[in-house]
Amino acid sequence: MTQSQVTQVLRREAWSKETDSRIADLCTYLETYLEPDQIKEIYRAYLFGAQLHSGQTRKSGEPYICHPLAVARILSEMQLDYKCLIGAMLHDVIEDTSASKEKVTEEFDAEIADLVDGVSKLTKIDSVSHAEAQADNIRKMLLAMTRDIRVILIKLADRLHNMRTLDVMRPKKRRRISSETLDIYAPIANRLGLNHIRLELEELCFAAAWPMRHRVLLKSVMTMRGNRKELMTHIEAALQQGLKDEGITAIVQGREKHLYSIYRKMRDKKLSFTEVVDLFGFRIIVDSVDTCYRTLGIVHNLYKPVPGRFKDYIAIPKANGYQSLHTSLIGSHGVLVEAQIRTEEMHEISESGIAAHWLYKTEENSSGAAHAYASDWLKNLLDLQREAGNSMEFLEHVKVDLFPDEVHVFTPKGGIKVLAKGSTVIDFAYAVHSDVGNQCVAARVDRQLVPLRTKLLSGQTVEVITSEGARPNPSWLDFVVTGKARASIRNYLKNMKSQEAVDLGRRMLERGLEAYGLTIQEAEADGISSLLVDFKLNSMNDLLEKIGLGDRMALLVARRIAGDRKLPQDEEPYPTQSAQPLVISGTEGMVVSFAKCCRAIPWDDIVAVFSPGKGIVVHRQGCPNLGEFRKQGENWMDVRWVDQTEGEFTTEVGVEVGSKRGVLATVAASFAEMESNIENVVIEERDGLSSTLEFTVSVRDRKHLARIIKRLRALPEVMRITRMMG
């Protein structure tokens, strides 16, 4: 046997002893809270997993079974149930071994198999990129989490151990994994109240992604810690004595701000290390909520509070159920410190979150703020899943909802809604219910009417005004913040656009078939299944939608349907000019749009151009951009206005005026008098004596525009008026 082989044998023996020691240590610890029969099942799962992973090693060289064993140990410290620990012990067997979900079910049970399958990555993904593959896997995991919260607990423990052993990876891969962890897993841990996991993940990611910055910052903190150690000891003793003098029994713990928190504050607020003042703080744990508020008064008597730095998370908990009183104090020698005051139960929830209440049990056995907030978030995830178009979009919405900053606003009946920082009235409406958001037309904030894009502040009371005929506006996507609002709006607009496209496609196909003496009903009766197969479509509605969106030409489809029928009038290849124009009202929705280059309004002479995926775009006759399209008969069509139009349309008017104080206000007032709304105005100086005002205004039709122009011409300041094109 060679020296190398001897070394390998000795190493395997060493790892084997280490693994035996770890499983023995785990079983000993489990005896503190599990039944003997349950511990035996966990040990049986260990043997089952070790056999399946036999021969597999990690990058570090240790046997692969060491990883599941470490994951189970992390979860055991949260005192989770035995089935969760078995799921942790087997969490990689479906993904990395020959075992199937059915095999796990046979050996253990369906509940454990579901846990293992929920954590396992998708093995067959037809994704075009690593990002899409990751999005698909995260989507699968999060949906499994909505059925059983233990899935995400296992995944977080798995990610935590992987981060602890990340040193063996290449620098590029370390940075990628750290970035993903900071983007997804640390925020999920925070959202579920798993504070100890979140903090360790952030610290490990910081050290792996920015090792130099981590070392420099750690050195600075160590230096400052040495300089202030005596001072912090003095403040801690003063707090202990002050509470004791008032008859309050409390645990006072000194704490340091974590390195990643310091780094993020320096980066976000562009501060130097010396400008970060709240590096140290104290946690005061008491017996009841009433004692928390009494303690706050005592602390404020001992040290002056900093105005504006008090937060009551007991009355209004954070989105993850976290509760505490936060106050900033000016300690000895002017040092700024933070004090967190909470009960023992609040402290347990702040560290363990949902795990503190074993949320995977029945609803009756679960309690506490963490449970309620986590349940709300899980329901929200299901809403996002239903309304998201694909995994990348779903992940985008989830990331938005993982932002930690939040505002607390009230419903008219006194209920509290927790929203992401920067949320608007529309975000609030969708937080109440998707139907409320879809039908929102106005809102009152603290009894005052406000625009829908108004950003909300904590403490405000919001009342949403709805209308049955209302529907979401695509422009809302420009300012909404929450994932639920964005997903709901996109989903509604997508469905609305689909129906509008079907309606328009039906009208266009009917018009095309008229030239052959056919109707849609006759075409469907004759059967168009072969046509649908050729176009790879499932139904007639799918075909009509494609026509309405401009992806299929109605005239060419009509020709395919007509077959050997001849045109009754002539042999024009495209019966566009001979057929009756398509009648439009301007209210067809998103599948009929008006080109911004010429801004057509009712009673203009118009023509339409096909735009694949969007429908038809309406231009004014004579628009310079139509030149190329007129050479392609299949890409344009005649249209005309319906006899009676409704609504308002946008057009542009150029007004040349003499340079005079107040002239803009005078012209704008004239538009208002004529019931026209100004959407935009651009001022162009000409020669110092005159200026051109380019107005984008809303009008009802050409007659309305003519009355406006007549009114403007009566103004002495106006020298010339033109309707702009291009």
- Residues annotated as part of the active site: 95-96
Half-sphere exposure of 417 (CA within 13 A, CB side): 26
Q: What is each CA distance from 376 to 146, 205, 425, 659, 709, in whole angstroms?
A: 10, 29, 20, 60, 56
Query: Phi and psi (nearest 5°) for 85?
Result: -70, -35
Q: Determine if residue 319 is left, alpha or beta; phi over 0 gives left, psi from -120 to 50 gives alpha, anything else beta.
A: alpha
- Residue 128 has a CB neighbour count (10 Å cut-off) of 8
Q: Where are the alpha helices (DSSP H) in 272-321?
A: 289-302
Q: Give the H or E element holding residue 378.
A: helix 369-387
Please give the Cα distance from 17 to 52 (Å, whole number): 19
Half-sphere exposure of 381 (CA within 13 A, CB side): 24
- Assigned token pair, 674: 């004529």
Token pair 């009551």 is found at: 312
Please give the Cα distance from 680 to 697 (Å, whole number): 7
In total, the chain counts a number of residues equal to 726
Greatest alpha-carbon pair distance for the chain in Å reads 108
- Say if CB 138 and CB 115 are below 8 A apart: no
Q: Give the H or E element holding residue 719.
A: strand 718-723
Please give the Cα distance from 353 to 5 (Å, whole number): 49
Distant-in-sequence, close-in-space partners of 58: CB < 8 Å, separation ≥ 6: 64, 66, 67, 165, 168
- Assigned token pair, 77: 């410290």
Q: What is each CA distance from 307 to 90, 232, 277, 405, in whole angstroms?
A: 53, 22, 15, 20
Q: What is each CA distance from 174 to 68, 120, 158, 178, 292, in whole angstroms?
A: 20, 21, 16, 6, 43
- Assigned token pair, 372: 């309620």
Helices 391-401 and 130-147: crossing angle in degrees, nearest 10, is: 60
Q: Which amino acid, residue 673? A: E
- Say if CB 474 and CB 590 are below 8 A apart: yes
Query: Phi and psi (nearest 5°) for 699?
Result: -135, 165
Please give the Cα distance from 409 to 418 (Å, whole number): 7
- Residue 619 has a CB neighbour count (10 Å cut-off) of 25
Any bridge partners for residue 684, and if so which? Answer: 692
Please give the Cα distance from 44 to 26 (Å, whole number): 13
Please give the Cα distance from 422 to 458 (Å, whole number): 10
DSSP-derived 3-state class of residue 445: strand
Helices 110-119 and 130-147: crossing angle in degrees, nearest 10, is: 150
Q: Give the H or E element holding residue 510.
A: helix 483-514
- Parallel, antiparallel, or unpaired: how do β-strands 636-641 and 582-584 relate? parallel
DSSP-derived 3-state class of residue 166: helix
Give the single-character DSSP code of 423. Answer: -
